[in-house]
A and B are shown apart, each in its own frame.
Chain A
Amino acid sequence: MYRWFQLTSSADLDALVSEISTEYGPTRVIEKLKNGLSSAVKAILIEKNYIDKDYRSTYYNFYAKKGQSYRADCIRLHFFDEAVTFDAQSLKLLGHSERALGDHYFGYMILRPTGIATIGRSVVSPDVRTGTSGSIITANHKVHLLGYKLGVQGFPSMDQHIDISVCAHAACWSVLRHYSEKYTIYREFLTHDITLMAQQFDPGGLVPSKGLQMSHAERVFQEAGTFPLHVVRTDPQDEAFYRQLHAYVESGFPLFAANHDVGHAMAIVGYEWEASNPNPITSMRYAWDEVKSIVVVDDNYLPYQTINKHGGSPYLAGSIDSFIVALPEKIFYPADAVDRLAPTLFKLAPLLGGLPSRDEVTLRYFITTGSALRRFTRSRESEFDPKLIATIMTLPLAQFIWIVEIATGEDWAKGQISARAVLDATASLREITPFWLFHNRTNALVFDRSRVGAGINGIGSLGLSGMQNTAFTRWDQNLRPTQRK
């Protein structure tokens, strides 16, 4: 039932073919592992007869109804580094305490007995994915193995089944499984649930393989209790589309993304910044302009496939032409509004005693919560005037807020900013001042949103001191930086 498989090089993976029977598609799995897993993985524990809830949901509702007999159980592969060994006699993992084992565990991959497209539910650490770098949206996934409780930080992935689910189902499943692991308010949906949620009625086993429409994906997210926002590129030069795509990912929302030319869907789960540009900024830039590549969970590859903005394979970030972001309720002010509003913030410069020139900065915007702003401020008390801290703690912030950060080229290189605006994510599109707060190092504008139509009387100015020489840190919070192993 358990077999320990030591690796000295990726060539050793070929021997897995003798351990895994053909219905689990070992040849293709080995090929993928050889191309996608780093040499930090030094051992694989093969767990046979594993009962996988996602495969079982499709087995009970589809495979068991077929003339061809399918097994009901799966194989689970667990990935470890060289610090862990296995005693086959006592069935114990050796080398570390249970608590420390997690530091040497890189996740798991389930193999389904379906002959084709056999890679099922998997959570693998991005740290051991070759070619992956940058920051990635992850959650902690608990793993029960041999009486140990292990954990892995990662994003869920699986191959499409082909016959009952396609790429779009797999992408919906990945996003929703991340939500159910990360946020307690979302329940878990199994593969078969996703195929049913896409339709108004039970389409039967084979209908989903005909494909999924964007409207079906939207319906899946709506059925799951989220509030999906469907954003489509207006034309190939629509840079605002990519700026907001990046903003939502920065905010910690994995995106269901589509390339309609090839009819393909994937989940966008991360990005990597360009190396700092030594040349000074000569015209206003956005955070998207500083991005080198995005990271996707695409069912054709192992998870965390890097997709470049410029040049490279398998496709370019610019080929993505629509996405769905599964938002929580109460985000009424869309990214398009923030994108248009942000450059206008410079017209408030006289009230703040000055801002850098518009042509010398990078603008970055993302969504977070009011409580996260307070936590961030509290954790960096030394960066702020106590009056500003008291203001942030006092303002009756809505649950969700947009943050706009203004950074000069010099700031950006140091991971700092020159000014930060806090917008109300529940604001209406036609509001003139959808703000809570806008401040630089010397002044803050505070907005009273307790009265409608307060106008100029609803804006207060607060002089700040002691911040001229402190760090004014760029706020990176939602994504996990990859630590390549």
Chain B
Amino acid sequence: MDQKETKSVFELIDGLTSVDPQEFKEFEKAMIEKVIPEIVEIIDKRRLKATESRHWQLKRVNIYLTHANKRRTVEE
């Protein structure tokens, strides 16, 4: 097997250094405690709204009559 294929992405990029775990902590905490629960909640909420809206009727018909600025709206 070609040895290059076994290299990880990080081995292929020159100059990478590791990051300080302490500096990552605040982001990780915000994601776990706030952002991900909010994402899950809004996705569920939208899913519910989408289910409710699936039967909305879309049928508006506008017919312009021959004279300018005179519009009749027909709703069946």
Question: Is A432 in contact with B56, judged by CB distance below 8 angstroms?
Answer: no
A-B contact list, 15 entries, CB within 8 Å: A117-B63, A166-B61, A213-B54, A214-B58, A232-B46, A232-B50, A258-B56, A300-B64, A334-B43, A340-B42, A394-B9, A394-B12, A432-B28, A456-B19, A457-B18
Q: Mark B26-66, 1 if CB is under 8 A from A, else 0.
A: 11101110111011101101100110111111111111111
Within 8 A of A (CB), among B1-23: 8-10, 12-21, 23
> 6 tightest A-B contacts by CB?
A211-B59, A460-B16, A215-B54, A232-B49, A347-B27, A168-B58
Cα A336 to Cα B49 with chains together (Å): 14
CB-CB under 8 A for A265 and B42, given A117-B63, A396-B9: no
User: Contacts A336-B46, A341-B35, A344-B35 hold; do A461 and B58 have CB atoms under 8 A apart?
Assistant: no
Contact B61 A160 (CB under 8 A): yes
Inter-subunit contact A461/B19 (CB<8 Å): yes
| Count of B interface residues, CB-CB < 8 Å | 51
> Contact between B46 and A340 (Cβ–Cβ < 8 Å)?
no
The answer for the CA separation of A19 and B17 in the assembled complex, in Å, is 75
User: Whose C-beta in chain A lies nearest to the C-beta of B59?
Assistant: A211
Interface residues of A (CB under 8 A from B): 27-28, 31-32, 35, 116-117, 160, 162, 166-168, 209-215, 217-218, 230-234, 240, 258, 260, 262-265, 300, 322, 334, 336-337, 340-341, 344, 347-348, 350-351, 387, 390-391, 394-396, 429-430, 432-433, 445-446, 448-451, 456-457, 459-463
Whole-angstrom distance between the alpha carbons of A20 and B8 in the complex?
Answer: 69
A430 & B40 in contact (Cβ 8 Å cutoff) = yes
Question: Is B76 a contact partner of A260 (Cβ separation < 8 A)?
Answer: no
Complex Cα distance, B13 from A215, in Å, reads 47
Q: Classify the secondary structure of A's interface with B.
A: mixed
Given contacts A263-B75, A456-B19, contact A432 B39 (CB under 8 A): no
User: Which residues of chain B have a CB within 8 Å of any CB of chain A?
Assistant: 8-10, 12-21, 23-24, 26-28, 30-32, 34-36, 38-40, 42-43, 45-46, 49-50, 52-66, 68, 75-76
Q: 15 additional contacts, CB 8 Å, given A337-B43, A344-B30?
A: A28-B65, A214-B58, A233-B49, A234-B49, A262-B60, A336-B42, A340-B39, A341-B35, A344-B27, A347-B30, A430-B39, A448-B9, A450-B9, A456-B21, A461-B19
